[in-house]
Structure 1
Amino acid sequence: MREAGPEKRFDGRVAVVTGAGRGLGRAYALLLGARGAKVVVNDIGGGIPGGDADAGVAGGVAAEIRDAGGEAISNTDSVASPEGGRAIIDTALDTYGRIDILIHNAGNVRYAPLTEMTYEDFDSVLDVHLRGAFHMVRAAFPVMREAGYGRVVLTSSIGGLYGNRNVANYAVAKAGVIGLSNVVALEGAEHGVKSNVIVPAAVTRLADGLDTSKYPPMEPELVAPAVGWLAHESCTISGEMLVALAGRMARAYIAETPGVYRPQWSIEDVGEQIDDIRDTADSWLLPVVPSAHSDHIGRSFAMAMGGQ
């Protein structure tokens, strides 16, 4: 095991954490506050499906940080509207004069199979997870870019990577967040702004009703260090995804098989060569930053022009 280096601190940094009143968000806020960050603790205090409101949820976490000697203020605006996103960032700017770290963790869940999911349930989840991420980024990114520094951490899920039953709304939202983070990483690269995605799992109130007695330890505190590192000035990556589940940390990534080039294709050709098309040997891993988009096109063009 490597020897631990100096403690990574956030003195002088201002962090906004959405959905920070409970579970994962609370763990993130407490960790950053304990390491010196000034924290805006955002949470409307709603139920799992959304709605409701309890200002005491965010206020309690902010008080915990202050009681431990840190600095924090609570905010109960909703991420689900542009006005709410702006108000949350304005709380940081008006109170502390800057915004260095944005962690978008707020979420809701509305379960239903595809045949029964209502448009209201679909939109409600996208409003918080995906549109909420955009509302937060849209308000924070220009300030970070002008300052020449920023750390953005958006939240996806294994549901966004792999899907799951009865959560089409959640899966769509969590997949969309990955694309948003990649754009922030690309547009922020020359301005000192890094953006990454956390893919977390922990036993929180979302696990109510499940038998977790045979689960390994899965406290939110096992996820928080990954988010803390992504939020720190020493973070060396951008446009990537880190998985944190039950003490396991890993990188999730998108890759392409080299594929097969032919000057012309028929349906029958695809069927005959599907195994070669899908062969993952020598897969391409194209880093988002600096140039995955153009690398993808360039490599494909090179195969076509080389007749390979």
Structure 2
Amino acid sequence: MGICEGRVAIVTGAGGGLGRAYAKRLAAEGASVVVNDINAETAATCVAEIEADGGKAIVNTDNITDYEAAGNIVKAALAEFGDLHAVVNNAGNNRDRMFTSLTPDDWDAVMAVHLKGHFCISSHAAKRWRVMSKEGKPVSGRIINTSSGAGLQGSVAQSNYAAAKGGILSLTLVQSAELARYGVTANAVAPQGRTGMTAGVFDEMMKPPEDGGFDVFDPANVAPLVAWLVSEQSDGVTGKCFEMYGGKISVADGWRTGEVVDKGARWEPAELGETISELIEKAPPPQPVYGS
């Protein structure tokens, strides 16, 4: 019996890459999975693979960026499996440009899929869990969001993507704080693995080893973490961002208040330079922006 036996999970962008790996591992651990993807063919292939291995899954192609349509994804889970325990917000896109070349369409397209997509489906799930909690029913809800190294430290030529992924981290913190009272946890993962978004850019770096050794960029390496977060075993773990690829896992340490200098009165602009220099010197240096 797997650690997700009896759980029902929605995975967005589950037709390929990381989402497909998550859906398959969740099913292998006993979860019933809604495989959501805008590509019906790849979603159906994922479901067929899950069913061939004895798991339970259904295809869903509703648009996560449309609030009403996202609600239909939750309804599909309830109609087919009778419950919902977890939402894995994995779907993503990218429109990489240097900042001075970025267009409004580039910005809006990335924000829609990442930030709005994370909001829409999680909103419907959270509202259901809140009603259940207020009715005195047991709730063991899970929201698993997807950030990235770009969201944690920035990435050259990805200001829209980095901003969206950074926003997802802040969203996760607020969801964690607000939804705990209803029995819901919210965490984020910042994974590395071969996906459609890395194709053509990182093919050489991420290619499987020719000697048949451990494939560190296999998306399946991240799936055990997602399965654990979906399971009841992760109860009490919330508001965290886990970085993972290959066999490596860590908990990210984000922005926090540093050392404070208090003058006890209003500062004059000319006074600030020396004090700010001292504070910067004492602060731990940030990780460099990717590509800088």
Question: If the TM-score is normalised by the length of the shorter chain, which range does it land in?
Answer: 0.7 to 0.9
Letter in 2 for 1:191: Y
How far apart, in 1, do the equivalents of 2:165 and 2:278 lie? 31
One-letter amino acid of the counterpart of residue 15, structure 2: G
Segments of 5+ residues of structure 2 without an aligned counterpart are 133-138, 207-214, 285-292
1:273 paired residue among 272, 275, 289 = 275
Identity %: 38
Choose the corresponding residue for 1:82, options 67, 73, 86.
67
Q: What do the CA deviations read for 1:243-267 (whole angstroms, capped 9, x no partner)?
A: 0123211111222213211113222
Pick closer, same or farther for the CA change 1:186–1:213 going to 2, 3 Å. same
| Structure 1 position 70, deviation (Å) | 1.0
Q: 1:298 — aligned with what? A: none
Alpha-carbon distance between aligned partners in 2 of 1:143 and 1:134, rounded to the nearest angstrom: 14
Number of matched pairs = 266
Aligned to 2:26: 32
Between the two structures, name the one with larger relative contact order (CA 8 Å, sep ≥ 6).
Answer: 2
Contact residue 37 and residue 62 of structure 2 kept, 8 A: yes
SS in 1 for 2:232: coil
Q: Distance in 2 between matches of 1:205 and 1:25?
A: 11
Report which stretch shifted further, 161-170 or 96-105. Answer: 161-170
Shift of 1:274: 2.0
Q: Secondary structure of the equivalent of 1:249?
A: strand
Q: CA deviation at 1:205?
A: 2.4
1:244 counterpart residue number: 244
**Backbone CA RMSD of aligned residues:** 1.7
C-alpha change, 1:234 and 1:146, in structure 2 (3 Å) is: farther
Deviation at 1:226, TM superposition (A): 1.5
Which among 51, 54, 68 is matched to residue 66 of structure 1?
51
- Secondary structure at the counterpart of residue 99 of structure 2: coil
Q: Deviations over 1:136-194 (max 9, x none)?
A: 11111111233322011000111111111222211111111112111211111122100
Partner Cα separation in structure 2 for residue 41 and residue 22 of structure 1: 10
Equivalent residue for 1:222? 221
Instruction: Determine the structure 1 residue equivalent to 2:16.
Output: 22
Report the 3-state secondary structure (helix = DSSP H, G, I; strand = E; otherwise coil) of the residue aligned with 1:115.
helix
The match for 1:234 is 233
Q: Secondary structure at the match of 2:44?
A: helix
CA distance in 1, matches of 2:227, 2:257: 30
